Amino acid sequence: MRLIEVEKMPIDIKKAINERVSTRSFQEKSLTDADKTKLMEFNNTLNNPFDVNVKVQYISKEQGADSVKLGTYGTIKGAKDYLALTVKDEPYAMEAVGYQFENLILYATEMGIGTVWLAATFSRKDFEKAMDICDDDLFPCICPVGYSSEKRSIIEKFTRASLGSKKRKAWGDLFYNTDFTQLLTKSDAGKYVEALEMLRLAPSSTNGQPWAVIKEGETFHFFCNYKNSISEDMKKIKHLDIGIALSHFHQTLLSDGLEGKFENIDTEFDVPEEMHYVISFVGSK
């Protein structure tokens, strides 16, 4: 696998991360042509550190998909437009989807467009009828896009309450110093504290935050926590979540002027059985 450099986002990344919320109640109208064009033109500029081709397709109930039922099992109200993501099944495919599409979501946030990651609560068969998709494509998620409704639906209120949408794990549950036996303090994080905090705020499936990060000098090792993970499909979703977290971490570093690169590294410390190594980021001294 070839790891490549990714450019800094042309937005205030920390502001977008803090303002992004999962929107499930939308005004019943499509994006304006201007907003759709701006969003999709920016999408065409995006890539990911893993050099994986992530395909984003725009589906609109009002423009070409009006005869197709786009099922979200009642979890989404009012949405007319969706973005559907496909990728070939290859190493780091899910991390690539998470990283690249989260950058688009953060850009949409700055534009005032509402979004939400959906990895389970939608009918794949319904959406595939309106998509260009191959038999060997992975179709991990969709994202409704539109303008948020001022009034949240009862289902949205229930979903946000049940998932604890605003809750995030504490530092001591996510970040470690040198190995898995020592917790990382904010003081020890030094110049990387903002990037780690933005990572901590990253959204994830059922708000599970399945990542762990070890700081070893200027290097950060990222792990995926397989605890309570049973199926291969669930593991894929966890790796997508890792990609979202990597987007927050890396783009914050770039916005702070901190350089470095992603690498695969053989770690020498003991790793708990449930922890699966993903990638490392080596910062410049």
**Per-residue pLDDT tens for 89-113?**
999 999 999 999 999 999 999 999 9
Rg of the chain over all Cα atoms, to the nearest angstrom: 19
Neighbours of 134 (CB within 10 A): 9
CB-based burial of residue 124 (10 Å sphere; 0-12 exposed, 13-18 middle, 19+ buried)? middle
Tokens of 36: 């759709």
Q: Residue 124: its pLDDT value, please?
A: 86
By C-alpha distance, which of 154, 214, 212, 206 is closest to 178? 214
CA end-to-end span of the chain:
25
Rounded CA separation 28/62 (Å) = 11
Rounded CA separation 240/238 (Å) = 5
Q: Is 98 helix (H, G, I), strand (E, B) or coil?
A: helix
Q: How far is CA 4 from CA 7, 22, 64, 254, 263, in A?
A: 10, 30, 36, 14, 10
Q: Is 76 helix (H, G, I), strand (E, B) or coil?
A: coil
Which residue spans within 44-188 are E strands per DSSP? 54-60, 81-88, 114-115, 137-146, 175-177
- pLDDT tens profile 35-73: 999 999 999 999 999 999 999 999 998 765 555 566 676
Question: Would you put residue 212 in left (φ > 0), alpha (ψ -120 to 50) or beta?
Answer: beta
pTM (two decimals): 0.93
Residues with Cβ within 8 Å of residue 235, at least 6 apart in sequence: 224, 226, 229
Q: Residue 170: its pLDDT value, please?
A: 93
Rounded CA separation 259/158 (Å) = 42
Half-sphere exposure at residue 212, Cβ-oriented, CA atoms within 13 angstroms: 22
Residue 232: phi and psi, rounded to 5, are -65, -35
- 161 DSSP 8-state letter: H
Below-70 pLDDT ranges, the chain: 63-71, 73, 151-166, 229
